[in-house]
Structure 1
Amino acid sequence: MHPAFSIVFFTTLAGVAQGLVVALALAVLLGPAPSVGFLSAALLLAGVLLLLGLGASFLHLGRPERAWRAVLMWRTSWMSREVIVLPAFIGIVAVWWLALRWGVVTPWATLLPVAALVGAAVLWYCTAMIYACVRFIQEWAHPLTLVNYTLIGLSSGLVLACALAAGYGEAALLRAVAPWALIATLAAWFTRTLALRRNAALKPKSTLQSATGIRAPQLVQKSMGMSAGSFNTREFFHGMGLAAMRQTKLAFLVLGFALPSLLLAWGLLGGPAAVWWLALLVQAPGLVAERWFFFAQARHPQNLYYQQVS
C-alpha cells in the first residue's frame, strides 16, 4: 500500500496523546497524583496532539467539507465509529482540563479519569479494527494489529509522561511511571517483532497463476497495457525497493524501541533528567517510520495486475 503521511501522522499523534491521557488517568486514580498545574498542562498538550492528529487526517480527504458524512455508516464501518469516538475522546479531555481550571472536584475528579481511560481504549480499538478487519490484506488481518496499536501508543505516551514529569519536577510521578514506560516499550518491541515475523512468513492467497489460470511456474507480467501510471499504481503500492524497506524496518526497530529502552533503563538507574527527553526525541521519528512501514508492508491483491507500467 502507499502510506498517506496524513494518516501516518494522525495515528502516531493520536496514539501518543492516548498513552499520555492513560498515564495521567491512572496516576490520578491509583497514585501518586500529580499536581494540578502539571495535570492541567499535560492534558492541554494531549488535547493539542489530538487536534493536530485530527487536522492531519483531513489532509487525506478529497472533499474535507463532506467529512461529516463519515458518521452515517457507523453500523458497519469501523472508520465511521472512529470518527464518532475521536471527537468524543477529545471532548472528555477538554472537559477534564476545564474541570481542573475551574477547580471542580468530586465526583468529577474520579469520573473524568475513568471516562478518559474508556475513551482511549475504545479509540485504539476502533482505529486498529479499520485495518484488522480488512481480510484480503493478510498483513493487517490479525489480532496483533490491535495489540501493536495499543502497546505502541502506551509506550509513546508513557515516555512523554516521563519527560514531562522530569521537566516539571514531579519526582514521585516519574518514579511510578518510568518502570511502566520501559515495560510498555519492551512489550511493544516484542509484539511488533512477532508481527514482522508473521508477515514475513505469509504466503499470498492469490498469485498470477491462480488469477490467470495459467499454471506455468515462471509466469511473469511484462505489461498491463498502459503507458502511464494511474490511481491504482499510485495509491496501492509505495514504490520503494526491498533495500529501502529493510532500512526502514531497521530504523524503526532501533529508534522506536531499542534505543528508547536503553535510555529508559539508564534513567531508571539514575541517569540525568535529560535522558527522558532524549528517549522521547529518539522514539518520535522511529514511531513515524514504524507507522509508515505498517502501511507500506501491506500487499493489496490488485497489485497482481498493476505491477508494471511499460
Structure 2
Amino acid sequence: MHPAFSVIFLTTLIGAGQGLFLALFTVESYGLLELVPSQGPEFYAHGSLLALALLVLGLFASFFHLGRPERAWRTATKWRTSWLSREVIVLPAFMAVVFLYGLAHWTGFNPSLGTLPGGYNVLATVLLGALGALLAFALFLSTAMIYAAVKFLQEWHSPLTVVNYTLLGGASGFTLAAAYAAWAQTDLVSFLAGWAIILTLLALVSRAASLIRNARIKPISSLQTAIGVKHPRIEQKSQGFMGGSFNTREFFHHRSAGFVRAVKWAFLIGVFAIPAALLALAMLMTVDATPVLVAAFAVQYLGLLAERWFFFAQANHPQNLYYQSVA
C-alpha cells in the first residue's frame, strides 16, 4: 500500500497522546495508593495539556487525508459497521475527557464522590481518569481495527495489529511522561522510565512476532486468479495503457525492496534499541536526566514514523497482481 503521511502522523501522534494520558492516570492511581510520591495538581494539568496538544495535532493531520474535509462529520454516521466511524466518535470524546481531567486538576475542583473499602476516596479526577483510560483503549482498538478488519490485506488482518498499536502508543507515551517528569523535577523518573522500558520491550516482542508472521504469509491470490486465466505460465507486459492510474499510485509504495528493508531496520533500532538504552541510562543518572529522556522520546517518535511507514508499505494489495507494470 502507499503510505499516507497524514495517517502516519495521525496514528503516531494520538498514540503518544493516549500513552501519556495513561501514564498520568497511572501516577495518580499509584499516588492515591501511596505506591509513588503524590504530585500536585499542576503536574496533571500541564501533562494533560501536553497530551491534548498531541491529540489536536493528530486530528489536524488527519484532515490532509480527506478529499472533502467539510464532509468529515459524515464518517460518524456508520458507527454500527465501520471502525473508522467509531474512531471518529471516540477521538473527540477522549479529547474532551482529557481536557476535563486537566481542567479539574488546574482549578482544584476535585470533590470526593465516595469511599472505597479501605478508606480510599473516589475523587472526581479519578473517575474522569478511569473514563479517559477506557476511551484511550477504545481508541487504540478502533484505530487498529480500521486496518486489522481488512481481510484481503493479510499483513494487517491479525490481532497483532491491535496489540502493536496499543503497545507502541503506550511505550511512546510513557517515554514522553518520563521526560516530562524529569523536566517537572519530580521523583517519578525511575518509575515512568521503568514502565516505558517494559512497554518498549513488550512492543518489540509483539512487533517482531508480526514481522515473522508476515514474512511467512502465502498469498491467497495469484496472477491466474487475478485475471481469470488458468495457464501455468503468465507474464504481464502491459496493463493496457501507457500512463499511471489511481490503482498504480495508491496501492503500492513505489520503493525498492532494499529501501523497505532499510526502513525496517531503522525502526527496529529507533523504536526499541536506542530508546530502551537511553531510558536505562536515565534511571542510573544522578543528575538531571531531562536531555537524555527528551532524546529518547525524539528518537522513538522518529522510529515510529518509520515503523508506521513500513506497516503501510508492507501490506500487499491483491490488485498489484494485475497492475504489475505501467507499460
Give me the TM-score of the superposition, normalised by structure 1: 0.97
Is 1:281 matched up with 2:298? Answer: yes
1:211 counterpart residue number = 226
User: 1:101-180 to 2 correspondence within 5 Å?
Assistant: 101-106=106-111, 107-171=123-187, 173-180=188-195
2:324 counterpart residue number = 307
C-alpha separation in 2, matches of 1:161 and 1:50:
15
Mark the runs of 5 or more structure 2 residues left unpaired by the alignment.
Answer: 112-122
The runs of 4+ residues in structure 1 deviating greater than 3 Å are 212-218
1:267 counterpart residue number = 282
Q: Deviations over 1:135-190 (max 9, x none)?
A: 0000000000000000000000000000011111012x222211111000011111
Instruction: Give 1:276 shift.
Output: 1.2
> Which amino acid in structure 2 is aligned with residue 55 of structure 1?
F
2:29 counterpart residue number = 29
1:3 counterpart residue number = 3
Instruction: Give 1:34 shift.
Output: 2.5
Is 1:291 matched up with 2:296? Answer: no
Instruction: Give 1:35 shift.
Output: 2.3
Q: Percent identity?
A: 52
Instruction: Give 1:278 shift.
Output: 1.6
1:73 counterpart residue number = 78
Q: Deviations over 1:13-47 (max 9, x none)?
A: 00000000000011111223332212111110110
Is 1:226 matched up with 2:241? Answer: yes
> Which amino acid in structure 2 is aligned with residue 131 of structure 1?
Y
C-alpha separation in 2, matches of 1:34 and 1:121:
24
Is 1:59 matched up with 2:64? Answer: yes
C-alpha separation in 2, matches of 1:77 and 1:55:
21
C-alpha separation in 2, matches of 1:87 and 1:52:
13
Is 1:97 matched up with 2:102? Answer: yes
C-alpha separation in 2, matches of 1:70 and 1:117:
24
> Which amino acid in structure 1 is aligned with residue 46 of structure 2?
A
Q: Deviations over 1:218-248 (max 9, x none)?
A: 4221111111111111111110110100000
1:87 counterpart residue number = 92
User: Structure 1's 271 and 300: CA in aligned 2 closer, same or farther, altered over 3 A?
Assistant: farther
> Which amino acid in structure 2 is aligned with residue 21 of structure 1?
F
Mark the runs of 5 or more structure 1 residues left unpaired by the alignment.
Answer: none
C-alpha separation in 2, matches of 1:69 and 1:223:
39
> Which amino acid in structure 1 is aligned with residue 99 of structure 2?
A
> Which amino acid in structure 2 is aligned with residue 108 of structure 1?
A
C-alpha separation in 1, matches of 2:295 and 2:65:
31
C-alpha separation in 1, matches of 2:73 and 2:18:
23
Is 1:242 matched up with 2:263? Answer: no
Give me the TM-score of the superposition, normalised by structure 2: 0.92
> Which amino acid in structure 2 is aligned with residue 76 of structure 1?
T
C-alpha separation in 2, matches of 1:162 and 1:217:
58
C-alpha separation in 2, matches of 1:61 and 1:69:
12
Q: Secondary structure at the match of 1:250?
A: helix
